[in-house]
Amino acid sequence: MKLSDRLRELRLLNNLKANFVAEKAGVSPSLITELEKGRGKPSLDTLLALCEVYDISLLDMLYGVDFAGEPSEKSLPHGLQEFLDDPEFAEEIDEDWQVFLRKFDIKGKRPNNKRDWMKLYLALRQVLDDVK
């Protein structure tokens, strides 16, 4: 996932407007827009300010963006932890599936709730079962 996609995802998951994020982070609204469009590179200070706004660590913000760190619950895509903790699926979703699901995105988009993660997992599992 690109940093621009991750920044937009975090803002949308928190139901925040770019103007509000900019004000709280002490940057211009146009900078937020440019970063989310991939037209700029944020300074470390800007990233740290955005982390404060989203109440997330820098590692959690950057997890899945061009490198992999150790995931925490906040770094996982919205709804995925809830799906992984579901007793109906917890035992059958091995580490390979968890890694795949954490990194899954298509053009910066991915499921954002437990139900959609479950539907994706079941559909992919069906495809793989049919291939066997």
- Please state the rounded mean pLDDT for residues 104-123: 85
- Please determine, for residue 91, whether its predicted confidence score (pLDDT) is greater than 80: yes
Cα separations (Å) of 22 from 7, 29, 48, 95? 12, 5, 13, 37
Domain that holds residue 19: 1-71
pLDDT at site 36:
93
Q: Are residues 67 and 82 in the same domain?
A: no
- CATH number for position 57: 1.10.260.40
The verdict on 62 and 86 lying in the same domain is no
Q: What is the pLDDT of residue 11?
A: 92
* 76: pLDDT strictly greater than 80: no
Q: What is the mean pLDDT of residues 35-48?
A: 91
The mean pLDDT of 121-126, rounded to a whole number, is: 90
| One domain for residues 60 and 10 | yes
- Are residue 37 and residue 1 in the same domain, yes or no? yes
pLDDT at 68: 45
Residues 82 and 21 in one domain: no
Higher pLDDT, 70 or 99: 99
For the chain, what is the domain count?
2
Range in 3-7, 9-13, 45-49, 64-68 with the lowest mean pLDDT: 64-68
How much is the average pLDDT of 91-95?
A: 86
Give the separation between CA 45 and CA 50, rounded to whole angstroms.
Answer: 9
